[in-house]
């Protein structure tokens, strides 16, 4: 059984479903200006979440070879160490500035400072551990520093992951509100034409990825999955109908949503046989996430170069 990495899932959530295309010139009215303010703020938070995800991955790597309750012993057959982190000073500065920027998003804004604080506590410990294990100092000091470091690293890592777990759904909620508003704005300005069709498909596709099984939640909520699948299927049918009526409207995108829908239905059959438990069916979801990320990439230019 292979679950998608947290990176794949989260990027799928935050990359956005409303492509920004240059082919249509729309006057910057109040609604457009307000929409851009929301996007600017969320982009600052996206940058922080994406780059600091590396700390989550580093702790996952550490936990793959260390007993997190007792710490390293020096008798491990394999010592993987930790991943090094990225320089996120710029992302932290932008996110801190966004907290006080309009429009206010009270719960999400309030979650940023403790998340940053948790990261800034954890980051130097990961850096210390990465250097220690890269140099193989544990072979010289018989894991003495590793044991001492673990006493600080484990609780700091746990605190960071807890803050991230609080932050992600708050961000996803605001992102969904933003995308729904952007979709409505496109319809108001252009009608339900090609840009709206692509944006609608991508907005309805995202819940499918969010409902996939993962290590923390291997059992899928089948009624919720079925409801989201039906909504996505309706959006795909609408796109196919538009494509038939307006040939050449989509560049490098036409057919991809329908293909992914077929794969999702096949995946749903496997889930049904496993009663929703991905562990029972040894169900691999990585390919679904990868195909979704490809769908996102192709959506960005779907109406930019129509045939």
193-245: pLDDT as tens digits? 999 999 999 999 999 998 999 877 889 999 999 999 999 999 999 999 999 99
Residue 30 CA: distances (Å) to CA of 26, 33, 79, 94, 194: 12, 5, 56, 24, 23
- Cα–Cα distance between 253 and 301 in angstroms, integer? 8
pLDDT digits 0-9 by tens, 147-176 = 999 999 999 999 999 999 999 999 999 999
- pLDDT surpassing 80 at residue 266: yes
The answer to whether 74 and 133 are in contact (CB under 8 A) is no
Q: Where do the structural domains in the chain lie, given as residue ranges?
A: 23-191, 192-307
Q: For residues 126 and 181, which has the higher predicted lDDT (pLDDT)? A: 126
Mean pLDDT is lowest, of 182-186, 205-209, 280-284, for 280-284
What's the CA angle centered on 131, arms 128 and 133, to 5 degrees? 105
Contact status, residue 307 vs residue 206, Cβ threshold 8 Å: no
Residues in contact with 177: Cβ distance below 8 Å, sequence separation at least 6, in sequence order: none
- pTM for the complete prediction? 0.79
274 DSSP assignment: T
Calpha distance 26→134 (Å, rounded)? 54
Residue 180 has pLDDT above 50, yes or no: yes
pLDDT averaged over every residue in the chain: 89
Q: Which has the higher per-residue pLDDT, 210 or 303?
A: 210
Identify the pLDDT of residue 16.
Answer: 39
- Would you state the pLDDT for residue 120? 99
Q: What is the mean pLDDT of residues 70-90?
A: 97
3-state helix, strand, coil in the chain (%, to 5): 70, 0, 30
- Does the pLDDT of residue 30 top 70, yes or no? no
Closest CA to 307 of 245, 246, 248: 248
231 CB burial (10 A radius; 0-12, 13-18, 19+) = middle
CA dist 118 and 98 (Å) reads: 18
pLDDT on residue 252: 84
**pLDDT number for residue 28:** 55
Residue 19 confidence (pLDDT) above 50: no
Do 86 and 36 meet the contact criterion of CB atoms below 8 Å apart? no
Q: Which token pair is 28?
A: 């910057």
Task: Write the DSSP symbol of residue 219.
Answer: B
- Provide the b/e sequence for 200-210 (b: ≥16 CB within 10 Å): bbbbbbbbbbe
Helix (H, G, I), strand (E, B) or coil at 103: coil
Each residue's pLDDT tens digit, 43-59: 999 999 999 999 999 99
Given this model, what pLDDT does residue 8 score? 41
The confidence score (pLDDT) of residue 13 equals 40
Q: What confidence score (pLDDT) does residue 80 get? A: 97
DSSP per residue over 14-83, as a string? HS-SS---SS------HHHHHHHHHHHHHHHHHHHHHHHHHHHHHHHHHHTTS-TTT---S--S-----P
d(CA 59, CA 97) in angstroms, rounded, equals 28
Question: Which of 87, 106, 102 has the alpha carbon at shortest distance from 37?
Answer: 102
**pLDDT greater at residue 93 or residue 31:** 93
Higher pLDDT, 252 or 207: 207
Flag whether pLDDT at 107 surpasses 60.
Answer: yes
């Amino acid at each position: 059984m292979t679950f998608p990495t947290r990176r794949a899932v989260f990027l799928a959530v935050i990359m956005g479903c409303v492509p920004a295309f240059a082919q249509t010139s729309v006057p910057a009215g109040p609604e457009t200006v307000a929409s851009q303010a929301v996007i600017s703020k969320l982009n600052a938070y996206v940058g922080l979440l994406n780059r600091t995800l590396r700390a989550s991955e580093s702790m996952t790597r550490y936990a793959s070879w260390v007993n997190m309750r007792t710490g390293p012993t020096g008798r491990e057959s394999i010592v993987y160490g930790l991943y090094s982190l990225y320089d996120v000073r710029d992302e932290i500065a932008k996110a801190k500035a966004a907290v006080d920027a309009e429009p206010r998003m009270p719960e999400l804004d309030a979650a940023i400072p403790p998340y940053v604080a948790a990261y800034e506590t954890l980051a130097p410990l990961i850096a210390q551990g990465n250097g220690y294990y890269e140099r193989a100092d544990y072979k010289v000091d018989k894991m003495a520093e590793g044991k001492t470091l673990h006493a600080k690293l484990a609780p700091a890592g746990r605190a960071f992951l807890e803050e991230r777990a609080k932050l992600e759904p708050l961000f996803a909620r605001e992102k969904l509100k933003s995308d729904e508003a952007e979709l409505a704005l496109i319809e108001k300005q252009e009608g339900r034409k090609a840009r709206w069709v692509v944006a609608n498909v991508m907005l309805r596709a995202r819940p499918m990825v969010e409902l996939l099984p993962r290590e923390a939640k291997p059992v899928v909520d089948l009624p919720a999955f079925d409801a989201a699948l039906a909504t996505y299927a309706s959006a795909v049918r609408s796109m196919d109908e538009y494509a038939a009526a307006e040939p050449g409207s989509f560049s490098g995108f036409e057919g991809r949503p329908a293909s992914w829908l077929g794969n999702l239905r096949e995946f749903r059959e496997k889930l049904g046989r496993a009663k929703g438990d991905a562990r029972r069916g040894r169900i691999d979801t990585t390919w679904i996430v990868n195909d979704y990320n490809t769908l996102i990439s192709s959506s960005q230019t779907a109406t930019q170069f129509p045939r």
